[in-house]
Chain A
Amino acid sequence: EDQVTQSPEALRLQEGESSSLNCSYTVSGLRGLFWYRQDPGKGPEFLFTLYSAGEEKEKERLKATLTKKESFLHITAPKPEDSATYLCAVQEVRGSQGNLIFGKGTKLSVKP
């Protein structure tokens, strides 16, 4: 059973067309939820960490939010340079501390 599910698998937007990516998770206790961006041929790049329901964080055109069961990554007025795969990962309170459980990612394409 997948613990982290991301949707959609792929998303194509026109430049300036705002949208949201979803990350739903099923863990017994969430210590933190992490968002990463991954460009082709590169390692994941850290974006945000969220720790509690209701928390929000922003960076340029990106805003991440967290509820008790899911997180959203909102992209406002995206530009072509926002094209990448966005990965979500959770860190559990119990079990192996520090270990991240990743979803499969959402591949975002922004066309000019």
Chain B
Amino acid sequence: EAGVVQSPRYKIIEKKQPVAFWCNPISGHNTLYWYRQNLGQGPELLIRYENEEAVDDSQLPKDRFSAERLKGVDSTLKIQPAELGDSAVYLCASSRTSEDEQYFGPGTRLTVT
């Protein structure tokens, strides 16, 4: 069974530029999560989807971050414009339901210069 796929793996951009991350969850997983992980810290949730509905986006900085999950499968997380403090690893995870264990992708390491 294929795992969670994320792209790109690495991204370097200048501040104020836009950036987008893509995630393909495990087949059959209805719940999709985006996390941000800073160096030396655990992942912190940004947004959770149940199928195509964003059911928890309370931690998403909505002034510059946006996300979508079209047709309840793939998802895209966008930052516009990026700031220096956005440098981190962005992780996508999926689970069968919100109560099941989550499986993580390899992450996208974002560097904002």
Contact = CB atoms under 8 A, between A and B. Distances in A.
Interface residues of A, number: 24
Interface residues of B, number: 27
Nearest to B92: A43
A31 B98 CA distance: 12
A2 B73 CA distance: 33
A90 B4 CA distance: 21
A96 B56 CA distance: 7
A98 B95 contact: yes
A99 interface: yes
Given A42-B107, A43-B91, A43-B107, A99 B101 contact: no
5 contacts: A46-B104, A96-B48, A98-B56, A104-B40, A105-B42
Closest 4 CB pairs of A and B: A98-B98, A102-B42, A43-B104, A44-B104
